[in-house]
């Protein structure tokens, strides 16, 4: 969990790497005309029914910060895959602005776009998208090969990254000889070999079975601690989103319904759709002490505390420390200094989703 | 009196018809028979379809059906000379290549040809069993003194199949990239595939001299090129979309994508097309013996013409053996590619 601490400390200082402004995407024969209808207030359903155009994305504004994992979450059809493909222009927007390091990506000509895809962004795919006729090392080196790097060099670089993702000794194998999890490791090694600062991951772990998926999430977090890439991660799995996200964007029907720090979204869902979403997860495992503590605000640390807990501990670990006693109060420490207090009663309240308590109130 | 006289009478065209009458042309066989049998009693059961010939009986101004065939013939003869002027020099290299291949296969002694073929087979299939099969089949053909004929057939197939691949793969690639081109090409391919093999020969005989190898070369190529074009197009269109997307996302140029991703991934389909192309050239090379293509087909033709049953059947067996060799070797090569690309 080292990664989390770095993040919490540096979140305020990270500059915006990718900025998306007023992005719209309409699919159909005449998107520009259809877009006019959308701007005049037509809904997705109206657009489909009256003008037979599909509204893919509507009014998207996101800032993705450097060295952070931005997770875009939504169910199928929410437009999340469409959104990530706009970043490297595999899909062209109907209207809007996309800036990478302050540069307008949409103004790039073909050569500039190619350079950006080669050197600035690399992508990991849901179904791996490896080349079946090339060895694992050749696959991992593809991103360098397209730039014209000599074979000996790119194989060496590929070997380095393959070892880094735990595939030492598989260089000469073919993709079909590997399991799904291993194939996706090759996919990640391929993206890392390009040494691009931005990594786009399109449902990268969705095709893997649950245990392997957890392994891969841990691998990603571990790599991120070291490499500090700007990662855009697409998923439909809330647990995965909460585990990985520094910044969480929730999409529904092509619109952003809430974005922000995942803990914040979990505690303050602003939409019934999100409440439904978050009501099923294990809050004790996801929520952290820092999200529910009372800050000290210059007052002295209270003397009646039953012990000290870390700023970044999960509630689950705190419950096990306290032995379940709700009368305890703990002092929250960060880097050795007290920053707040936590009453166990507040912890218990935080475990109940807001939607559930309201539903309960109505029932009795 | 003709059946449809009333039609022209009622329309008031009788005068026009008679004015245009230029005397009876040459009589057709049907006319002669009708004359010999005398006039028949008119009956509803004998009502002829108002075809051109029936209408011509009533009105001399209407063209006869034989004018159509005559017209087609004249039209073809009219464009023949300019067409020949253009096509002859273009296709001349084909004659040279075929002559060269036939000459090479002819002068290479059998004890050199066998090892060469064995090596080719091994390189393609990487299987000693396949080499054994080829040696057994060719050995048998040589034993019954059909070796020279078989080599001539093989030479023609090598040249034609190679040219088919050389032209067919680029055409297929172009088709896979443009839907318009695909829409325009497919009817042509359909026509080439359904046109009876003999029909190819008719215009070709008029365009080129029957003694020239290019005549049968063109016929074989036109007939056999279809599968390799179709399967190249299909193969490239079937390449996994996510892999193409990945190639784009890594900034591949179109060229890198074509040679690094699309063609290698389409290779199993392209090889299936090559296999079909080779088999179809073999089918056509037998028919092409009608227009002086040498090889086993000549023996088959002799069997038919002279009713030499044994000659025809044995050379037919030789063709089957060649077909087995060519099919098995290309399929073995195909399987090797498939195994390497398993997903």
More confident residue, B96 or B8: B96
**What pLDDT score does A75 carry?**
87
Residue A297 has pLDDT above 80, yes or no: no
Q: Please state which of the ranges A230-234, A314-318, B128-132 shows the lowest mean pLDDT.
A: A314-318
Closest chain B C-alpha to A93 CA, distance in angstroms: 16
Closest chain A C-alpha to B318 CA, distance in angstroms: 38
pLDDT tens, position by position, A21-69: 999 999 988 898 888 888 888 888 888 888 888 889 999 999 999 999 9
Average pLDDT, chain A: 86
Eight-state DSSP code of residue A127: T
pLDDT tens, position by position, B114-166: 999 999 999 998 889 999 999 999 999 999 999 999 999 999 999 999 999 99
Q: How far apart are CA A227 and CA A43, in angstroms?
A: 42
**What pLDDT score does A3 carry?**
45
Percentage of chain A lying above the pLDDT 70 cut: 92
Which residue blocks in chain A are alpha helix, DSSP H? 2-10, 31-39, 44-51, 80-87, 110-119, 136-140, 142-145, 151-164, 180-193, 210-227, 238-244, 262-267, 272-278, 283-286, 289-292, 315-322, 344-350, 354-363
Q: How far apart are CA A169 and CA A155, in angstroms?
A: 13
Q: Is the pTM of this model over 0.90?
A: no
Q: How far apart are CA B53 and CA B198, in angstroms?
A: 28
Query: Could you count the other beta carbons within 10 Å of the beta carbon of residue B194?
Result: 9
Closest chain B C-alpha to A263 CA, distance in angstroms: 33
- Between chains, do A123 and B249 touch, taking CB under 8 Å as contact? yes
Q: How far apart are CA A199 and CA B128, in angstroms?
A: 49
Confidence of residue B27 (pLDDT cuts 50, 70, 90): low
Q: How far apart are CA A106 and CA A86, in angstroms?
A: 9
Interface test with A, best of B246, B258, B261, B337 (most A CBs within 10 A): B246
Percentage of chain A lying above the pLDDT 90 cut: 46
A-chain residue closest to B245, CA distance: A90
**What pLDDT score does A8 carry?**
45
- Between chains, do B248 and A90 touch, taking CB under 8 Å as contact? yes
**What pLDDT score does A43 carry?**
84
Average pLDDT, chain B: 88
Q: Please state which of the ranges A73-77, A261-265, A334-338, B77-81 shows the lowest mean pLDDT.
A: A334-338
- 3-state SS of A217-275 is HHHHHHHHHHHCCEEEEEECCHHHHHHHCCEEEEEECCEEEEEECHHHHHHCCCCHHHH
- Between chains, do B250 and A123 touch, taking CB under 8 Å as contact? yes
List residues of chain B with CB under 8 Å from any CB of chain A: 240, 242-243, 245-246, 248-253, 256, 260-261, 264-265, 267, 340-343
Distances (CA, A) of A101 to A20, A62, A230, B146, B295: 11, 14, 12, 75, 71
Closest chain B C-alpha to A33 CA, distance in angstroms: 26
- From the list B249, B256, B342, which residue is nearest A88 (CB)? B249
Confidence of residue B55 (pLDDT cuts 50, 70, 90): confident
Closest chain A C-alpha to B168 CA, distance in angstroms: 23
Residue A11 has pLDDT above 50, yes or no: no
- Between chains, do A131 and B240 touch, taking CB under 8 Å as contact? no
CA atoms within 13 A on the CB side of A87: 31
pLDDT tens, position by position, A139-184: 999 999 999 999 999 999 999 999 999 899 899 999 999 998 899 9
pLDDT tens, position by position, A91-124: 999 999 999 998 899 999 999 999 999 999 999 9
Interface test with B, best of A89, A109, A129, A178 (most B CBs within 10 A): A129
Interface test with A, best of B235, B247, B250 (most A CBs within 10 A): B250
**What pLDDT score does B41 carry?**
64
The token duo for B169 is 């793969």
More confident residue, A344 or B1: A344
**Cα dihedral A335, A340, A341, A346 in deg (nearest 10):** -110
**What pLDDT score does B26 carry?**
65
Confidence of residue A5 (pLDDT cuts 50, 70, 90): very low
């Amino acid at each position: 969990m080292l990664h989390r601490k770095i993040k919490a400390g540096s979140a305020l200082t990270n500059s915006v790497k990718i900025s998306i402004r007023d992005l719209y995407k309409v699919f159909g024969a005449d998107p520009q005309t259809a877009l006019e209808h959308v701007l005049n207030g037509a809904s997705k359903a109206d657009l489909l029914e009256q003008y037979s155009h599909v509204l893919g994305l509507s009014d998207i504004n996101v800032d993705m910060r450097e060295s952070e994992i931005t997770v875009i979450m939504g169910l199928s059809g929410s437009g999340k895959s469409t959104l990530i493909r706009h970043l490297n222009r595999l899909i062209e927007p109907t209207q809007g602005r996309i800036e990478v390091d302050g540069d307008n990506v949409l103004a790039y000509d073909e050569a500039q776009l190619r350079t950006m895809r080669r050197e600035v962004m690399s992508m990991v795919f849901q179904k791996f998208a490896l080349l079946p006729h090339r060895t694992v090392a050749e696959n991992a080196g593809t991103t360098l090969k397209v730039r014209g790097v000599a074979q000996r060099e790119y194989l060496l670089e590929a070997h380095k990254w393959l070892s880094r993702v735990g595939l030492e000794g598989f260089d000469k194998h073919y993709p079909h000889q590997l399991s799904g999890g291993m194939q996706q490791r090759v996919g990640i090694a391929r993206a890392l070999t390009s040494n691009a600062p931005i990594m786009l991951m399109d449902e990268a772990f969705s095709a893997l079975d649950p245990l392997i998926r957890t392994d891969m999430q841990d691998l990603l977090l571990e790599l991120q601690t070291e490499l500090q890439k700007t990662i855009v991660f697409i998923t439909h799995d809330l647990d995965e989103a909460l585990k990985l996200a520094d910044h969480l964007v929730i999409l529904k029907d092509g619109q952003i319904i809430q974005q922000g720090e995942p803990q914040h979204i979990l505690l303050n869902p602003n939409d019934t759709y999100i409440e439904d979403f978050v009501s099923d997860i294990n809050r004790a495992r996801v929520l952290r002490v820092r999200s529910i503590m009372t800050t000290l605000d210059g007052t002295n640390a209270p003397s009646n505390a039953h012990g000290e807990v870390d700023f970044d501990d999960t509630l689950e670990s705190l419950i096990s420390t306290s032995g379940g006693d709700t009368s305890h109060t703990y002092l929250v420490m960060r880097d050795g200094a007290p920053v707040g207090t936590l009453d166990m009663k507040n912890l218990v309240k935080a475990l109940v989703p807001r939607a559930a308590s309201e539903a309960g109130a109505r029932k009795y | 009196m003709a059946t449809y006289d009333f039609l022209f009478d009622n329309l008031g065209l009788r005068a026009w018809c008679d004015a245009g009458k230029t005397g009876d042309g040459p009589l057709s066989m049907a006319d002669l028979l009708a004359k010999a049998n005398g006039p028949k009693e008119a009956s509803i059961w004998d009502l002829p379809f108002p075809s051109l010939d029936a209408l011509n009986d009533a009105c001399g101004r209407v063209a006869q059906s034989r004018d159509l065939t005559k017209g087609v013939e004249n039209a073809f003869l009219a464009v023949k000379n300019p067409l020949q002027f253009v096509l002859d020099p273009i296709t001349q290299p084909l004659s040279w290549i075929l002559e060269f291949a036939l000459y090479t296969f002819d002068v290479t002694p059998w004890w050199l040809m066998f090892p060469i073929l064995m090596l080719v087979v091994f390189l393609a299939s990487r299987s000693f069993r396949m080499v054994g099969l080829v040696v057994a089949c060719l050995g048998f053909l040589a034993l019954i003194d059909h070796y020279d004929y078989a080599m001539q057939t093989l030479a023609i197939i090598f040249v034609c199949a190679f040219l088919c691949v050389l032209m067919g793969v680029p055409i297929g690639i172009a088709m896979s990239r443009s839907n318009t081109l695909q829409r325009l090409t497919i009817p042509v391919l359909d026509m080439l595939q359904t046109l009876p093999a003999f029909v190819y020969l008719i215009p070709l005989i008029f365009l080129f001299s029957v003694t020239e190898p290019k005549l049968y070369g063109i016929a074989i190529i036109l007939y056999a090129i279809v599968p390799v074009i179709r399967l190249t197009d299909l193969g490239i269109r079937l390449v996994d979309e996510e892999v193409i997307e990945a190639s784009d996302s890594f900034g591949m140029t179109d060229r890198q994508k074509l040679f690094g991703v699309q063609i290698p991934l389409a290779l199993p389909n392209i090889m299936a097309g090559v296999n079909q192309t080779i088999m179809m050239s073999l089918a056509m090379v037998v028919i092409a013996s009608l227009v002086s293509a040498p090889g086993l087909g000549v023996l088959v033709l002799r069997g038919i013409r002279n009713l030499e049953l044994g000659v025809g059947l044995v050379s037919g067996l030789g063709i089957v053996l060649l077909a087995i060799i060519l099919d098995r070797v290309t399929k073995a090569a195909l399987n090797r590619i498939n195994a390497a690309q398993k997903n």
